[in-house]
Amino acid sequence: MNNTNKINKVRCYLNRKQMLFVQAYCMTNDIRTALAKAEYKESHWKNQSGKLMRNPHVQAEIAKMREKVNSKAVVSVDWIINRLKEHAECDDKDVSIKAIAELNKMAGNYAPTKNINLNLDMTLETVEQLGIIYKSS
């Protein structure tokens, strides 16, 4: 089956806006962005998002597109995780710590960067001794 026939077969089930939605959703993984790119009116987004995501043809096309992308990926997420696990178990502590930190980031288990402001009275000499970057106002 050539590409034209495949597209026509999909179009039998999905209209132009639905196909645009599927493509945009697969690229952004964001329903609102996908609805905007598919040219749905913003006032209809709430109603359309539910309809589209429940539509079995839309779901099937999203799954097909994601599978196609995953099969063409040079490096899969599973490969990356396995490599990081190997590094996490190595003898080099620095490498292990960095690999564990990266695995935690991928899993969403990391504390966001925290900035702490300390109000301390110091002389310029103490600041220089500590190697602190001094910013004058």
Residue 133 within any structural domain of the chain: no
Domain ranges, residue 81: 77-107
Residue 38 within any structural domain of the chain: yes
- Any idea what the CATH number is for the domain that residue 61 is in? 1.10.10
The long-range contacts involving 76-82, CB below 8 angstroms and separated by at least 24 positions, are 77/106, 80/106, 81/106
Residue 49, judged by CB atoms within 10 A of its CB (0-12, 13-18, 19+), counts as: middle
Task: State the pLDDT at residue 125.
Answer: 78
Q: Is the pLDDT of residue 54 over 90?
A: yes
Residue 90 near residue 96 (C-beta atoms within 8 A): yes
Residue 117 within any structural domain of the chain: no
Quote the number of domains for the chain. Answer: 2
Nearest to 45 by CA among 24, 63, 64: 24
Task: State the pLDDT at residue 10.
Answer: 47
Q: To which residue do tokens 């960067």 refer?
A: 113
61 and 11 within one domain: yes
Residue 44 within any structural domain of the chain: yes
58 and 16 within one domain: yes
Q: Is the pLDDT of residue 44 over 60?
A: yes
Residue 45 near residue 81 (C-beta atoms within 8 A): no
Residue 121 within any structural domain of the chain: no
Q: Where are the alpha helices (DSSP H) in 14-73?
A: 16-28, 31-37, 45-54, 56-72
36 and 7 within one domain: yes
Q: Where are the alpha helices (DSSP H) in 75-121?
A: 77-88, 93-107
Task: State the pLDDT at residue 9.
Answer: 52
96 and 56 within one domain: no
